[in-house]
């Protein structure tokens, strides 16, 4: 097999080479500057390569080298806290090499070759080990990084195992004559195997009331957040990354704004992880391929992130993977496809768009990994539909796959209702599976309470139509109360301030308490109405103002108790 | 580099702005090309597609007058421009040639105009409040240094006046740093050019500005290069000379039309509404050149202006821009017709970086709460206008009537201001409190009690 060839043609990020006879998706190095690329099409002797860097100045006739290997990521200690581009080049290292702007042809390994890690063996000489076996651990910040045999390792007996300080490349174990270092490589486009996939029945708790109570996502599930620009996709994604109860967060900034990544890069290290007390960054891997970085690397970035997520799942961790935004990824596919002059499908997207999307989301799962541990990957994919039009291909193809849909709404944004998740159009299909967990872990009547709230909101939407026609004065009193209660659900419960130090995270029991209090208000109001009290008196009780403010108070739970007391008192004083 | 570049007389096809040439030696992608016409004049171009033996060239000045006997010379280098500190005060063409009768730019440096992506790791968070003196921007859609905040306008609206007002008034408070404006005109009419230039000269703003003018009758291909020339200049001034640079680009819609025109000539598969599928990436390569870099004093803040075709915000140009930029200032005909300047529709406007640049120590501690309250109450008031049209004002409750009046007050006091009125942020917030005082206190649901106590004007 020949590995050396020459360039035949250059057109933007697509380069055609002859003489290398590669396999599909082999990584090749193009031109005198050795720009990295990937073979995406083979026509006779012509290999079509998507290049991950800018090809300006590259000429036909320059050399092309085939590495003979597919695009792979390096997995091992050092992943956490890293910031990579779409093909796992560490951005801080690139900055040292090429300065503040990203230069061409720079290569840097994903994992540092110098850093030494303290390896503590978990097996002894003579033990039997197989693919995925945990052979030892490394303490990486607050996390225990389990060192596993790669999924393609052969079963055998441990002949030698070391303890002490090693780099990721130094061998630490010998199994039937084969030595393994701590680091393993895995091709990004190939899912890492699991023994068994489970049905997801544990929620990913996010601390966002509208998500946890109304539209929960299961660990191992996939959710889509579509929304026009400015509706808060990124803020929602970042809140999830900060506060969800995942062990590891993989955040992929795919074709998004540079300043947004900077925000993540400055905020995450400063945020405290509520469980470990250490910086949130210590359990995070960031992939930043901004919109002006090469489009082919953007295409690869989601796979790079997913493979890293799978590696941590294999250790038995719950991983949350955020992809912001999958639309930019789809556009990268479209851009490359059009350079290849492929027959376009809908709106110029390639016909394989749907297939690629489902392959990606299918890698989300909760399951038993090769080492016998239960882990999960929950995927939260942002979708940026052009013009906010949800009928476009990326949104539609995504909705066919995911089971949770958090619809962001421009109208809500205009009235500064945050998070802008529309309670009428969003849905979750995990209600049935998660019901038991909520009953056992929050409250027996939690599912009913939620159904009640959704009914009130639904009723409000119907009544609003009437109000638009005839004004609210002509409604009967019970319906006026429904409107007031719905308003409370919206303003007190659904609205949440991601920037407020107290309100940004709301634990499940507090969510339950708040919603219960609104229900109580509603019940008391109905009773007062029956007793002949005027609507205006009920609607404008001073306790509402206090309730509204309670979520921002430092001691919010005590404040809620006070609200309940005031509520009882003020209702009892109401007279017909 | 090769010694003497070879001259080819092997043009095969000429098509729109594209020329197809047979070659014997390899040519680099994006290499510059000089074409000598049969009348002895020259045209410039760039390689778009380079295959062994056949090259596609895009001609910057248009292909008028080129015939198959024209000769083609490859220059062996990609597009670079001269930059220098002395560019301040200069007026240049869309291809960076002097238009003001002055000398050619004596280069301190030659820079590649495509630029490179700023390493996200090297970026610094934009957090310095820029006071534009316009209430709807400062108070409710705050601009910060290093941000890109476009103005989404429509034909017939005074976006150019707003751009000029911002260029005139913008400042970072309490600091006295070198400030420069790079003004990039893309396909504007001669009349608009006259207006900009006379205003620049009248207010003396020109001495701190570099102006690039690509006019409506200049070739479309040049229009694609002009913003890159301007931004390369801005990068040089910001990151090498340490200046605070404000880049104003108008009109991005003309730029996108040029992209579509060239894409169609190249027979590319079109995306939405005939615009190229890579328009998002292309626009990102312009907009993402805004920012700040750790350890460098300078910054680039961008205010691109675009006219939404048919005032449609879902049109691909505003839509893709909105996905890249950090917010948008939307202008609307409704307010303009009612004689309100600047006609900023705050409901659909947004500044994503606002929260980084406001609050105690930056603007004032009540800024965010006041802004949220204005947004919410104004939205409710506007909704009620629709209702009043059907049921009449009398059937509203007292509280609703207050909201309805609030919406009018808001437009009249907060939105409306003079073309030369430079309002401080404190003044803007004080005006806001004055009109919030007209509402009942329990209608101020977005503001904490303590702030209400401090700032709400006491009623007699």
CATH architecture of A81-94+195-431: 3-Layer(aba) Sandwich (3.40)
* Residue range B131-141, pLDDT digits in tens: 999 999 999 99
Q: Which of B52, B120, B277 is closest, CB to CB, to A262?
A: B120
Q: What is the pLDDT of residue B66?
A: 92
Q: Which of A409, A451, A445 is nearest to A431 (CA)?
A: A451
C-alpha span between A317 and A433 (Å, rounded): 21
CATH architecture of A4-70: Beta Barrel (2.40)
Tokens of A59: 């000429």
pLDDT tier, B253 (very low <50, low <70, confident <90, very high otherwise):
very high
Query: Model's pTM, two decimal places?
Result: 0.88
Q: What is the mean pLDDT of residues A107-116?
A: 93
* CATH code assigned to A446-572: 1.10.1140.10
pLDDT tier, A366 (very low <50, low <70, confident <90, very high otherwise):
very high
Q: Which of B48, B116, B396 is closest, CB to CB, to A102?
A: B116
**Between chains, do B29 and A12 touch, taking CB under 8 Å as contact?**
yes
Q: What is the pLDDT of residue B460?
A: 57
Q: What is the mean pLDDT of residues A438-456?
A: 95
Q: How far is B102 from chain A (nearest CA, A)?
A: 33
Query: Which residue's structure tokens are 């930019």?
Result: A328
Would you report the helix, strand and coil content of chain B in percent, each value rounded to 5? 40, 25, 35
* Residue range B24-76, pLDDT digits in tens: 889 999 898 999 998 989 998 889 899 988 999 988 878 889 999 999 999 88
Between A388 and A37, residue with greater pLDDT: A37
Classified as helix, coil or strand, B330 is: strand
Provide the greatest CA pair distance for chain A: 93
Q: Which chain A residue shows the shortest CA-CA distance from B272?
A: A347
Question: Chain B residues with CB inside 8 Å of A414's CB?
Answer: 347-348, 375, 379
Tokens of B61: 């000045």
Tokens of A504: 């940004």
Tokens of B236: 């040089």
Picking from B2, B6, B121 by the largest number of A CB atoms within 10 A of its own CB, the best residue to mutate is: B121
Exposed, middle or buried, B281 (CB in 10 Å: 0-12/13-18/19+)? Answer: buried
> Does B214 have pLDDT greater than 80?
yes
Question: Chain A residues with CB inside 8 Å of B327's CB?
Answer: 230
Q: How far is B60 from chain A (nearest CA, A)?
A: 17
Question: Chain A residues with CB inside 8 Å of B320's CB?
Answer: 386
* Residue range A405-434, pLDDT digits in tens: 999 988 888 778 889 999 999 999 999 999
The residues that bridge with A120 in the sheet, in sequence order, are A137
| Per-domain residue ranges of chain A | 4-70, 81-94+195-431, 115-182, 446-572
Number of residues assigned to chain A:
576
Q: How far is B447 from chain A (nearest CA, A)?
A: 9
Alpha helices, DSSP H, located in B185-332: 190-202, 220-235, 252-265, 279-287, 316-324
pLDDT tier, B3 (very low <50, low <70, confident <90, very high otherwise):
very low
pLDDT tier, A289 (very low <50, low <70, confident <90, very high otherwise):
very high
* Residue range A179-221, pLDDT digits in tens: 999 999 999 999 999 999 998 999 999 999 999 999 999 999 9
Question: Chain B residues with CB inside 8 Å of A106's CB?
Answer: none
> Does A516 have pLDDT greater than 70?
yes
Q: Are B380 and B372 in contact (CB under 8 A)?
A: no
Q: What is the pLDDT of residue A316?
A: 95
* Residue range A239-256, pLDDT digits in tens: 888 888 999 999 999 988
End-to-end Cα distance, chain A: 93
Q: Other C-beta atoms within 10 Å of B274: how many? A: 11
Q: Mean pLDDT for chain B?
A: 91
DSSP state of A493: I
The pairing of beta strand A156-161 with beta strand A171-175: antiparallel
Q: How far is B337 from chain A (nearest CA, A)?
A: 22
**Between chains, do A386 and B319 touch, taking CB under 8 Å as contact?**
yes
Question: Chain A residues with CB inside 8 Å of B27's CB?
Answer: 59-60
Q: Which chain A residue shows the shortest CA-CA distance from B278?
A: A335
Question: Chain B residues with CB inside 8 Å of A382's CB?
Answer: none
> Does B447 have pLDDT greater than 60?
yes
Classified as helix, coil or strand, B401 is: helix
Q: What is the pLDDT of residue B173?
A: 77
**Between chains, do A499 and B355 touch, taking CB under 8 Å as contact?**
yes
**Between chains, do A470 and B379 touch, taking CB under 8 Å as contact?**
no
pLDDT tier, B182 (very low <50, low <70, confident <90, very high otherwise):
very high
* Residue range B273-311, pLDDT digits in tens: 889 888 988 999 999 999 999 999 999 999 999 999 999
Query: Which residue's structure tokens are 């301190």?
Result: B108
Q: How far is A156 from chain B (nearest CA, A)?
A: 43
Of the candidate CATH numbers 3.20.20.70, 2.40.50.100, 3.90.1150.10, 2.40.50.140, the domain formed by A115-182 belongs to 2.40.50.100
* Residue range B316-338, pLDDT digits in tens: 999 999 989 999 999 999 999 99
Classified as helix, coil or strand, B45 is: strand
Q: What is the pLDDT of residue B272?
A: 80
Q: Which of B321, B388, B407, B383 is nearest to B148 (CA)?
A: B321
Q: What is the pLDDT of residue B343?
A: 97
Q: Mean pLDDT for chain A?
A: 91
Q: What is the pLDDT of residue A279?
A: 85
Q: What is the pLDDT of residue B1?
A: 38
Backbone angles phi, psi at B45, to 5 degrees: -155, -175
Question: Chain B residues with CB inside 8 Å of A470's CB?
Answer: 391
Q: What is the pLDDT of residue B2?
A: 41
Q: Which of B31, B116, B326 is closest, CB to CB, to A259?
A: B326
Q: What is the pLDDT of residue A268?
A: 81
Q: Are B228 and B113 in contact (CB under 8 A)?
A: yes
> Does A340 have pLDDT greater than 90?
no
Q: What is the pLDDT of residue A462?
A: 94
pLDDT tier, A277 (very low <50, low <70, confident <90, very high otherwise):
confident
C-alpha span between A160 and A442 (Å, rounded): 49
C-alpha span between B149 and B302 (Å, rounded): 6
Which DSSP string do the residues of A269-282 spell out, in sequence order?
A: HHSBPTTTSSBGGG
C-alpha span between B298 and B128 (Å, rounded): 12
Query: Which residue's structure tokens are 């396999």?
Result: A23
**Between chains, do B327 and A388 touch, taking CB under 8 Å as contact?**
no
């Amino acid at each position: 097999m020949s590995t050396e060839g020459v360039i035949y043609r250059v057109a933007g990020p697509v380069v055609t080479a002859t003489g290398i006879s590669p396999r599909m998706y082999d990584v090749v190095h193009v031109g005198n500057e050795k720009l990295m690329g990937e073979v995406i099409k083979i026509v006779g002797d012509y290999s079509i390569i998507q290049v991950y860097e800018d090809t300006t100045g590259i000429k036909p006739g320059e050399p092309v080298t085939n590495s003979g290997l597919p695009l792979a990521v390096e997995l091992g200690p050092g992943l956490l806290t890293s910031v990579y581009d779409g093909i796992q080049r560490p951005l801080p290292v690139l900055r040292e090499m090429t300065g503040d702007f990203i230069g061409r042809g720079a290569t840097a390994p994903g994992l540092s070759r110098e850093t030494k890690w303290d390896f503590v063996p978990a097996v002894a000489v003579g033990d039997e080990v197989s693919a995925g076996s945990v052979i030892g651990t490394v303490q990486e910040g607050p996390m225990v990084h389990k060192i596993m045999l790669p999924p393609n390792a052969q079963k055998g007996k441990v002949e030698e195992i070391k303890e002490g300080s090693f780099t990721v490349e130094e061998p630490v174990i010998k199994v039937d004559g084969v030595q393994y270092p701590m680091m393993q490589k895995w091709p990004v486009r190939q899912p890492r195997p699991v023994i068994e996939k489970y049905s997801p029945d544990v929620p990913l708790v996010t601390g966002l009331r509208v998500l946890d109570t109304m539209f929960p996502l299961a660990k191992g599930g996939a959710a889509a957040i579509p929304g026009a620009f400015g509706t808060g996709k990124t803020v929602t994604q970042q809140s999830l990354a900060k506060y969800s109860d995942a062990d590891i967060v993989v955040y992929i900034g795919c074709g998004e704004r540079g300043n947004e990544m900077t925000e993540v890069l400055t905020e995450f290290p400063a945020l405290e992880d509520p469980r470990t007390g250490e910086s949130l960054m210590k359990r995070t891997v960031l992939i930043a391929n901004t919109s002006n970085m090469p489009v082919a690397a953007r295409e690869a970035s989601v796979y790079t992130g997913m493979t890293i997520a799978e590696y941590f799942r294999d250790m038995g961790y719950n991983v949350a993977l955020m992809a912001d935004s999958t639309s930019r990824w789809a556009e990268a596919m479209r851009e490359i496809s059009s350079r290849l002059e492929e027959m376009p499908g809908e709106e110029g997207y390639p016909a394989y768009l749907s297939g690629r999307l489902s392959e990606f989301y299918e890698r989300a799962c909760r399951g038993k990994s090769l080492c016998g541990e239960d882990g999960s990957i929950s995927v939260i994919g942002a979708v940026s539909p052009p013009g906010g039009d949800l009928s476009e291909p990326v949104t539609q193809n995504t909705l066919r796959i995911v089971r949770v849909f958090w619809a962001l709404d421009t109208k809500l944004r205009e009235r500064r209702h945050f998070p802008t998740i529309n309670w009428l159009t969003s849905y979750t299909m995990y209600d049935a599976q998660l019901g038991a967990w909520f009953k056992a872990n929050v409250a027996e009547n939690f599912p009913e309470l939620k159904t009640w709230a959704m009914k009130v909101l639904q009723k409000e939407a119907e009544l609003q139509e009437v109000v638009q026609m005839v004004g609210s004065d002509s409604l009967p009193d019970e319906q006026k109360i429904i409107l007031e209660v719905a308003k409370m659900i919206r303003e007190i419960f659904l609205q949440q301030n991601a920037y407020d130090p107290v309100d940004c995270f709301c634990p499940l029991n507090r969510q339950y308490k708040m919603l219960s209090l609104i229900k109580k208000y509603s019940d008391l109001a109905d009773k007062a109405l029956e007793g002949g009290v005027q609507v205006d008196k009920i609607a404008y009780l001073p306790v509402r103002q206090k309730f509204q403010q309670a979520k921002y108070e430092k001691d919010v739970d005590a404040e809620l108790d006070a609200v309940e007391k005031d509520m009882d008192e003020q209702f009892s004083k109401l007279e017909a | 580099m090769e010694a003497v570049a070879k001259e080819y007389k092997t043009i095969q096809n000429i098509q729109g702005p594209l020329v197809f040439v047979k070659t014997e030696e390899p040519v680099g992608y994006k290499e510059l090309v000089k074409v000598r016409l049969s009348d002895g004049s020259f045209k410039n171009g760039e390689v778009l597609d380079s295959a062994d033996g056949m090259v596609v060239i895009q001609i910057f000045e248009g292909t008028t007058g080129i015939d198959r006997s024209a000769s083609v010379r490859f220059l062996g280098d990609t597009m670079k421009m001269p930059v220098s500190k002395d560019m301040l005060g200069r007026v240049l063409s869309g291809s960076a040639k002097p238009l003001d009768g002055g000398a050619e730019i004596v280069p301190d440096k030659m820079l590649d105009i495509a630029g490179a992506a700023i390493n996200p790791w090297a970026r610094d968070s934009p957090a310095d409040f820029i006071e534009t003196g316009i209430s709807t921007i400062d108070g409710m859609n705050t601009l910060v240094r290093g941000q890109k905040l476009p103005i989404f306008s429509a034909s017939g609206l005074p976006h150019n006046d707003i751009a000029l007002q911002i260029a005139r008034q913008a400042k970072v408070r309490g600091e006295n740093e070198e400030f420069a404006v790079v003004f990039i005109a893309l396909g504007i009419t001669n009349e608009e050019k006259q207006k900009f230039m006379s205003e620049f000269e009248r207010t003396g703003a020109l001495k701190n500005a570099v102006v690039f003018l690509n006019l409506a009758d200049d070739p479309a291909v040049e229009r694609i290069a002009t913003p890159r020339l301007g931004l390369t200049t801005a990068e040089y001034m910001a990151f090498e000379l340490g200046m605070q640079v404000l880049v104003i680009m108008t009109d991005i819609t003309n730029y996108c039309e040029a992209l579509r025109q060239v894409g169609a000539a190249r027979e590319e598969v079109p995306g939405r509404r005939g615009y190229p599928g890579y328009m998002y990436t292309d626009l990102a390569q312009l907009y993402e050149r805004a920012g700040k870099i750790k350890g460098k004093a300078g910054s680039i803040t961008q205010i691109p202006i675009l006219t939404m075709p048919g005032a449609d915000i879902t049109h691909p140009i505003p839509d893709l821009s909105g996905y890249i930029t950090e917010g948008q200032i939307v202008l609307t005909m409704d307010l303009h017709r009612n004689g309100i300047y600047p006609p900023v529709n705050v409901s659909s406007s947004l500044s994503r970086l606002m929260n980084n640049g406001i609050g105690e120590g930056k603007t004032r501690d009540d800024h965010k709460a006041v802004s949220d309250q204005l947004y919410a109450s104004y939205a409710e008031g506007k909704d009620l206008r629709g209702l009043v049209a059907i049921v009449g004002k009398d059937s509203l409750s007292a509280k609703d009537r207050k909201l309805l009046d609030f919406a009018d007050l808001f437009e009249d006091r907060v939105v409306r201001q003079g073309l030369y009125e430079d309002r401080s942020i404190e003044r803007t917030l004080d005006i806001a409190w004055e009109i919030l005082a007209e509402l009942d206190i329990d209608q101020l649901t977005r503001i904490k009690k303590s702030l209400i106590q401090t700032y709400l004007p006491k009623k007699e």
